[in-house]
Homo-oligomer: A and B are copies of this chain.
Amino acid sequence: MELGMIGIGRMGANMAQRLLRAGHKVVGYARTASTVEQRVKEGAISSGATSLEDVVKQLNSSPRILWLMVPAASVDDTIAQLLPHLSEGDILVDGGNSNYQDDIRRAAELEKHKIHYVDCGTSGGVWGLERGYCQMIGGEDEIVKYLDPIFKTLAPGVGAIDRTPGRPENKGTAEEGYLHCGPHGAGHFVKMVHNGIEYGVMAAYAEGLNILHNANIGKNTHMVDAETAPVQSPEHYQYDMDLPEISELWRRGSVISSWLLDLTAQSFQENPTLSNFSGRVADSGEGRWTIKAAIDEGVPAHVLSAALYDRFESRGQAEFANKVLSAMRFQFGGHHER
């Protein structure tokens, strides 16, 4: 098939390349001309466009397919600029990290112009070019079906991963790594929760590894005063744990083997103390939206929230709260901070 890829940064360029390799035609566009030139040189796109209008013009098939890989905050602007150049029946795919509520709104607006909108949450990161992209898709049935060759190409396919026992072969595309999840917004909703889970899983490993990292705390000598409880049983915390080897160990045969653990083992392989990181952890929106959805639904999300808040705390956002605590302690007990 033929599509326009709008946004050919790291992620978009890799997706374009995976499509190219499978014989699709991809017209690429980025705001910076030099990026476009470079992607052409790399062979990541079939051709480069000089403007959004130019992307549309270079697409011959009808309906046209325009795949957006731009920051969530730029999607509305990009659509507004594209709209005058589109024709009835054309298809816009938002493959970025939009909030699903924006999808619902946009689809309704675009419907007035008879433009179809598809939301496609995409997981896979920098590994997707080789590993394939897990795609969570929302939109109209026949439009999603029409785009199937694109999704199938980008998806990982069944590959080397065991099929789930008892699952009928013809049950659908999920086992190839892409799925039409429901109407507009359903794709980004599932992707949102996916990322929410990701935060939680990551935090579980991180907390556990931190406990192992501090398993030698009994070797330190602690002051004995009225303010600080002594380590209750220092003899129980005398272990110098080898985290690179332990994270490697768990990759095989353990209940907690996972791709994130594979990556953790690789990180420790590259730097056994992780001294190349400072520990300020970003969050990119989906974790926040997941918690808001949980709250709207009235379902508990202790773990996913804690994972999100720990990222806020890693960036110093609890500082004022902590000052309040110190102030209270000073007032009632005369406790001074160390």
Contacts and interface: CB of A to CB of B under 8 A. Distances in A.
A309 B284 CA distance: 23
Contacts of A200: 200-201, 203-205, 207-208, 303
A256 B194 contact: yes
A80 to B, nearest CB: 16
A158 to B, nearest CB: 7
Interface in A254-287: 254-271, 274, 277-285
Given A200-B205, A215-B297, A228-B282, 10 more contacts: A71-B224, A155-B252, A166-B270, A201-B256, A208-B290, A211-B294, A214-B320, A264-B328, A299-B321, A301-B309
Given A210-B318, A302-B207, A325-B203, A190 B128 contact: no
A255 B246 contact: no
Q: Of A127, A193, A277, which is in contact with the most chain B CB atoms at under 10 Å from its CB?
A: A277
A281 B208 contact: no
What is the count of identical protomers in the complex? Answer: 4
Contacts of A322: 206, 277, 279-281, 310, 314
Contact of A332 (B126, B284, B295, B338): B126
A97 interface: yes
B300 A134 contact: no
A308 interface: yes
A174 interface: yes
Contacts of A253: 123-124, 128, 131-134, 155-156, 177
Contact of A281 (B96, B177, B325): B325
User: Helix, strand, loop or mixed for chain A's interface?
Assistant: helix
A255 B123 contact: yes
A189 B214 CA distance: 12
A32 interface: no
Given A71-B224, A277-B330, A260 B252 contact: no
A326 B252 contact: no
Interface string A287-325: 010111111111111111111111111110111111111
A191 to B, nearest CB: 9
A197 B303 CA distance: 12
A250 B228 CA distance: 24
A104 interface: yes
Interface in A146-198: 155-162, 164-167, 171-172, 174-179, 181-183, 185-186, 189-190, 193-198
Contacts of A199: 204
Interface string A20-32: 0000000000000
A257 B281 CA distance: 22
A291 B304 CA distance: 13
A211 B196 contact: yes
Contacts of A131: 253
A113 interface: no
A53 B71 CA distance: 51
A67 interface: no
Nearest to A259: B257
Nearest to A297: B214
